[in-house]
Amino acid sequence: MPIGATAHQAGTVRFGDDPQSSALDVNCKAHDVDNLYVVDTSFFPSIGAVNPSLTAIANALRVGDHILDRLG
């Protein structure tokens, strides 16, 4: 890509069940910080060929529902 091209950054914060190998759980909540959720594209394991905005929005809505359930 030329220097003026843009790319979608993703994959900087791994998620999973094991705190030893991931920073976030499957609901995008930090293992070590009870009130920290990451809902941008950094939790994606990789990036596809298309703009990830709608997928990030859908995940943020999913995590928002989880937070509402958690708060009761």
pLDDT tens-digit profile, the chain (72 residues): 677 676 777 888 988 999 999 999 999 999 999 999 999 999 888 877 788 999 999 999 999 999 999 998
- pTM value is 0.80
pLDDT attached to residue 1: 65
pLDDT attached to residue 66: 97
Partners of 24 in beta bridges? 15, 30
pLDDT attached to residue 11: 80
How many other CB atoms are there within 10 angstroms of residue 55's CB atom?
15
Within 8 A by CB and 6+ apart from 25, the residues are 15, 16, 17, 31
